[in-house]
Amino acid sequence: MNILFASSEIFPYAKSGGLADVAQSLPEELRKIAQVYTMMPLYQTVDRQNYNIVFSDFSFDIWLHGIRHQIDLYKNANNPYELFLYNPILCDREGLYHDNYGDFGDNHLRFAIFSYGVIETMLKLQLKINTIHINDWQTALIALLAKTKYHLSQKIVFTIHNIAYQGIFHKSVMNELELNWQECFKSDRFEYFDQVNFLKAGIFYSDVITTVSPTYANEIQTPYFGHTLDNMLITNNYKLTGIINGISYDVFNPSTDEYIYKNYDKQTYELKSQNKVKLCKELNLAEPHRPLFVFIGRFTNQKGVDLIVQSLHLLKDFEINVAILGSGEKYYNGVFSKLVDKYHNITIKIGYDEALARKFYASADFLLMPSVFEPCGLNQMIMMRYGGLPIVARTGGLRDSVVDFTDLHHHNKHQGIGVTFDEHSMFWYMHAITKAISLYANQKKYIKFAKHNMSVDNSWKTSAKEYLKVYK
Ligand code: GLC
């Protein structure tokens, strides 16, 4: 089985969200059983030297609407199956898709160049590929091109990591990208309220659609979660399936993690607390015997940061410590920066800091994840692997991976134990936190659950097999 995996971001080369982690860890697991080529844009921000990314002496042109776009092919010298496409329009700017959270106006062209480039690379190098796996709107055009321009025989598997981002552009794009109006500009295909929608094309033209958890596969067929594409997904649900993501068990491993203060595993669980003591000292949080609640993530409405912000002036009076790490939308960065140093038991760090994030996981007793919606979510899995309990809104992949500690008769073996809440309101969010505090007071029970979480299998082992099934 030979697979071509195309993604707009792959960890550690470039990352704006969980997609990059999946695009690294899923191919890594699949490579144990299949041949997997990965392709991503070689953004100017990728550290070529550090990762040994070298020119592969191969360039070609794509002509679109009378304009020549040159693509240079690069590869990872340590792994020639990792390919990188360089084109200046696609790659030479700061940030991957956004400029200060305003869209780049030419994103349609950038990712069309990439999509054409992926197919042309496969054809020109005569790669023997059975299945092309594409991800999110940035590579969705590959499905349309494969079916309407290139008439490829390869199976196209399209994964939706987040339906909130769709790639919607003016219809003049049809001409600019040399697409067939009659074939494509239809309301069940690429057309979208007299515009074009890349994600929608991916849904129509792919052979299989997957999304990153079973619950999200159902949710996106409803108006609330479907972000206007619910009907489109209902029509195409015969080829839609939910496969829960895994995390890399090599990268996220408390017994070998070099970023944390003290390594530990399930057998030496008591060593975990040394991490908390050191972190609290570093963050100026007193009384490290208190339960430590952490939030790690993008500051965006999806992640429930409004609840986080609004709860802080209540949590300041609790016998707990809170540590927040993240960055994101300008508005939220501003809100959080005003709260830095305001409360003695709450620390806020604004920025992306992998090393500090790992220390947070190693130290935390509870992870706060009150997402408004969450296609899969990876942080709750990382928290469990590091022996803590996630506090989650019961939506998407959070629902599939975490069961509430008071509801254990509904527990299946793939789920970890945490605290869950259904209604997205301050009342139920605070209720969840107070439940967590009451549980923590019963140390015997808390530790039993924390250790259970360390033995739950959220690696890719099971889910990679599911992908192999849909690839066939
Ligand atoms: C997106 C989703 C997140 C998911 C990730 C990887 O970032 O928001 O829930 O875990 O993609 O699939």
Total domains in the chain come to: 2
Q: Write down the pLDDT at residue 98.
A: 66
Strands (E), 122-181: 131-135, 155-160, 168-170
**Within this chain, do residues 229 and 352 fall inside the same structural domain, yes or no?**
no
How far is the C-alpha of 322 from the C-alpha of 104, rounded, in Å?
A: 36
pLDDT tier, 103 (very low <50, low <70, confident <90, very high otherwise): low
Q: pLDDT for 313-335, tens place per residue? A: 999 999 999 999 999 999 999 99
**Within this chain, do residues 187 and 288 fall inside the same structural domain, yes or no?**
no
Q: pLDDT for 365-374, tens place per residue? A: 999 999 999 9
How far is the C-alpha of 103 from the C-alpha of 168, rounded, in Å?
A: 11
How far is the C-alpha of 279 from the C-alpha of 157, rounded, in Å?
A: 43
**Within this chain, do residues 367 and 290 fall inside the same structural domain, yes or no?**
yes
Give backbone dihedrals phi and psi of 393, rounded to 5 degrees, phi first.
-70, 140
**243 ligand 1 Cβ < 6 A:** no
Best residue for ligand 1 mutational test, from 9, 302, 378 (most atoms within 8 Å of Cβ)? 378
Residue 104 within a domain: yes
Pick from 192, 227, 243: which residue ends a domain? 243
The yes-or-no verdict on residue 101 having pLDDT over 50 is no
Pairing mode of beta strands 321-328, 389-393: unpaired
How remote is the CA of residue 380 from the centroid of ligand 1, in Å? 12
Best residue for ligand 1 mutational test, from 7, 10, 16, 19 (most atoms within 8 Å of Cβ)? 19
**22 ligand 1 Cβ < 6 A:** yes
**Within this chain, do residues 115 and 157 fall inside the same structural domain, yes or no?**
yes
450-461 in b/e form (b: 16+ CB < 10 A) is bebbbebebbbe
Domain that holds residue 326: 269-457
CA distances from residue 369 to 255, 301, 338 in whole angstroms, order as listed: 24, 12, 22
Residue 254 within a domain: no
Pick from 209, 243, 277: which residue ends a domain? 243
| Helix axis angle, 305-315 to 330-339, nearest 10° | 10
Residue 462 within a domain: no
Residue 332 within a domain: yes
Which tokens hold the place of 220? Answer: 């996106």
How remote is the CA of residue 448 from the centroid of ligand 1, in Å? 29
**Within this chain, do residues 333 and 438 fall inside the same structural domain, yes or no?**
yes
**Within this chain, do residues 156 and 283 fall inside the same structural domain, yes or no?**
no
Residue 396 within a domain: yes
The CATH number of the domain holding residue 378 is 3.40.50.2000
**Within this chain, do residues 230 and 356 fall inside the same structural domain, yes or no?**
no
**Within this chain, do residues 136 and 197 fall inside the same structural domain, yes or no?**
yes
**Within this chain, do residues 118 and 175 fall inside the same structural domain, yes or no?**
yes
Mean pLDDT score, 54-73: 98
Residue 466 within a domain: no
Q: Whose alpha carbon is nearest atom 7 of ligand 1?
A: 18
